[in-house]
């Protein structure tokens, strides 16, 4: 749904008070006629063009400022990872919640797998051993 500014809402209400039709109001303001109907029905309940209904669902545990603080902590190396940030600054939030919110700043939070270094010579030895023993059975 497209957001309708309070100015447009006020214009719709004023035009309706001047006893203009919904189609005429829609053409004059540049919105769809069903939007005019919806705005008028909504305005009857609130009587305020600036009123915004409270959001449904669970409120966010972190606001934009908290996520910005966490990003700065990582940038200034006050914390090495998300777990340390949670312990230092946000004990009420899980690591996954903070990591999800840090994605807004382009910070991807994941644990890097550690792979053992195997030199090229040893890789070739492993390959030759596997080829030599490819025909072995469970008993061998």
* pTM value surpassing 0.75: no
Extract the runs of DSSP E, i.e. beta strands, from 19-119: none
> Would you kindly state where each structural domain of the chain is located, as residue ranges?
6-46, 64-105
Stronger pLDDT, 9 or 112, i.e. the higher one: 9
Q: In the structure encoding, which two tokens stand for residue 63, read together?
A: 């606001």
> Which residues lie below 8 Å from residue 97, measured CB to CB, with a gap of 6+?
61, 62
How many CA atoms does the CB half-sphere of 48 hold within 13 Å? Answer: 5
- Residue 86 has a CB neighbour count (10 Å cut-off) of 20
Interval 44-91: pLDDT, tens: 988 888 888 888 898 889 999 999 999 999 999 999 999 999 999 999
Q: In the structure encoding, which two tokens stand for residue 20, read together?
A: 């203009």
**What is the CA 130 to chain-centroid distance, rounded?**
47
């Amino acid at each position: 749904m497209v957001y309708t500014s309070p100015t447009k809402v006020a214009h719709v209400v004023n035009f309706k008070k001047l006893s203009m039709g919904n189609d005429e109001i829609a053409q004059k303001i540049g919105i769809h006629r069903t939007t005019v109907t919806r705005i008028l029905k909504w305005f009857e309940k609130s009587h305020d063009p600036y009123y915004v209904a409270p959001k449904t669902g669970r409120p966010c545990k972190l606001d934009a400022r908290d996520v910005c603080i966490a990003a700065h902590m990582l940038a200034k190396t006050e914390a090495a990872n998300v777990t340390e940030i949670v312990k230092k600054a946000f004990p009420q939030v899980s690591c996954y919640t903070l990591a999800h919110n840090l994605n807004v700043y382009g910070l991807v939070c994941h644990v890097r797998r550690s792979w053992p270094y195997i030199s090229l010579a040893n890789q070739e030895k492993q390959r030759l051993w596997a080829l030599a023993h490819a025909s072995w059975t469970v008993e061998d």
